Structure 1
Amino acid sequence: MDTPQGAAELAESLLPPLRNRWLHTQAVVARAQEASPAVPEEDRDLLGAAAWLHDLSYAPELSEYLGQHDPSFTLRTYTHLMPNSETRTRAAVDRVLRGPEHSQDGPDTAHGPGRASDLERSQNSHN
């Protein structure tokens, strides 16, 4: 299941009984397809697969197995796996917003040259 097609097949095998969740997943996939031109070509399959799989933990077959039925178990078990997620997410969003031409219309535009954003100040205060 290393392709968006495999991810779609897995999602389709588990989510349709959760009607609203399945409809939501299909809408997310449609939005991911719309956004894919803004994503580097080598990341487009990952975007597609992530769109199909993002809500899979709601499937009863997986939620029990993963411990999703118990929020404290989920936090104890999984939060340590994402220590750099904020940094990685910000970098990914910056790549999409800045684009290859590095225009002046991007995440730093509102802050003006040389001014740190609130997020950057917050990150620096925690380091």
Structure 2
Amino acid sequence: MSETQNEYETESETDVEPTPFASAPWEPERPDESAHAHVWGSDGDLVATVCDNPVYGETAFDRARLIAAAGTAAEEAKEMGYDPVAVQKALPKILEALEDTAEMMDHPHAPGHDARRAKVNDALASAEGSRDE
């Protein structure tokens, strides 16, 4: 790379502002006459326009609902102090730990109580991003 390219890259890296996200909750909107569904932020900003995905058999509205739910959950996780990407990756562990916790609440003195509690702590640590997968 030339010196000019390096200067440009350095300058652009420091001058770039992050793209602001629409405020949560995000809401899906059923497809319009063009068959595109939309996702809107609570502030009225358009977040996404999506179409059907025939490869996976997803309708535009199914995809819009998923995007809206993910965006809303990511914002809420961030506000709670969690890393939104880490939460997404940890979600299966979190759900499994919560299922175990619900079972444990029915029998608090049952064998395995400490192991289940450790599983909950492990899932939460994963969601915080403080543990590598």
TM > 0.5 fold call: no
Larger helix percent:
1
TM range (shorter): under 0.3
Larger strand percent:
2
Relative contact order: is structure 1 or structure 2 higher (C-alpha 8 Å, sep ≥ 6)?
1
TM-score when normalising by structure 2 = 0.27
TM-score when normalising by structure 1 = 0.28
